[in-house]
């Protein structure tokens, strides 16, 4: 089946100054593209070749003999999910069904911000911060390297990439500034609502 590198869902400079075109040129065109290429090469002519990337992620997680396949599959998927979770003029307080869900499950938007910032800032080394559904309840979590909620039986709604290559050109070592920019200016709450509605 394979997996194609999707184009960014906006222009390279659409999220400037919070994420610059230079970062997208490296992050999407080099890093994301490499994961996709590696994944397709690894599953070619195997019993995984006709499975969806989501199925491959679930099937290869915690299988040491397929660690390379999992890492590249999950990273290819994670990045596509990340791009779609942002938009020009995004961020700020949520709207729609997710707003009420955040109030009921997390104690309000301010609590969401506090917990999401903590999850993103305290992920040691490379990884991701996530807003997920766990048996219908919102939770905020983080994961190392390529690990994602699909592998853990959770439903992802939103993610932030905290690998250094996601922010270093724009923020150097100031990960907290990148996290603030994502929350305040980039989150695509429409995408979050679509993911929640699809569950």
Residue 162 has pLDDT above 80, yes or no: yes
Per the annotation, does 79 bind a ligand? yes
Alpha helix locations (H) across the chain?
Answer: 21-26, 33-43, 53-60, 67-84, 97-106, 109-122, 168-171, 175-181, 189-197
Domain locations along the chain: 21-84, 97-197
Dihedrals φ, ψ of 187, to 5°? -55, 130
Answer yes or no: same fold for 21-84 and 97-197.
no
Residue 175 has pLDDT above 80, yes or no: yes
Nearest-5° Cα angle at 83, 186 to 55 = 140
Fold of 21-84: Helix Hairpins (1.10.287)
Whole-model pTM above 0.95? Answer: yes
Fold of 97-197: minor pseudopilin epsh fold (3.55.40)
Per the annotation, does 31 bind a ligand? no
Q: What is the pLDDT of residues 150-161, one digit of tens each?
A: 999 999 999 999
Locus of tokens 């040129």 = 25
pLDDT at 141: 98
Tell me the average pLDDT across 81-107: 97
Residue 1 has pLDDT above 80, yes or no: no
Per the annotation, does 28 bind a ligand? no
Q: Which among 91, 92, 116, 106 is positioned nearest to 176, based on CA atoms?
A: 116
Q: Which among 157, 62, 74 is positioned nearest to 116, based on CA atoms?
A: 157
Q: Which among 176, 144, 150 is positioned nearest to 163, based on CA atoms?
A: 144
Structure tokens at 138: 């919102």
Tell me the average pLDDT across 118-129: 97
């Amino acid at each position: 089946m394979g997996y194609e590198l999707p184009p960014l869902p906006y222009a390279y400079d659409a999220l400037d100054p919070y994420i610059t075109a230079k970062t997208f040129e490296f992050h999407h065109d080099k890093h994301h593209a490499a994961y996709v290429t590696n994944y397709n090469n690894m599953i070619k002519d195997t019993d995984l070749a006709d499975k969806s990337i989501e199925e491959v992620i679930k099937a290869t997680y915690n299988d040491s003999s397929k660690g390379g396949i999992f890492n590249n599959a999950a990273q290819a998927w994670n990045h596509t999910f990340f791009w779609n979770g942002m938009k020009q003029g995004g961020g700020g307080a949520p709207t729609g069904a997710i707003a009420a869900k955040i109030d009921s499950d997390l104690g309000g938007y301010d609590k969401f911000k506090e917990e999401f910032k903590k999850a993103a800032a305290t992920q040691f080394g490379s990884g991701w911060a996530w807003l997920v559904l766990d048996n219908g309840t919102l939770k905020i979590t983080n994961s190392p390297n390529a690990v994602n909620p699909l592998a853990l039986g959770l439903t992802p709604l939103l993610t932030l990439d905290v690998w250094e290559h996601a922010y270093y050109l724009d923020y150097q070592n100031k990960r907290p500034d990148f996290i603030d920019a994502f929350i305040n200016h980039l989150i695509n709450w429409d995408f979050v609502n679509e993911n929640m509605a699809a569950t």
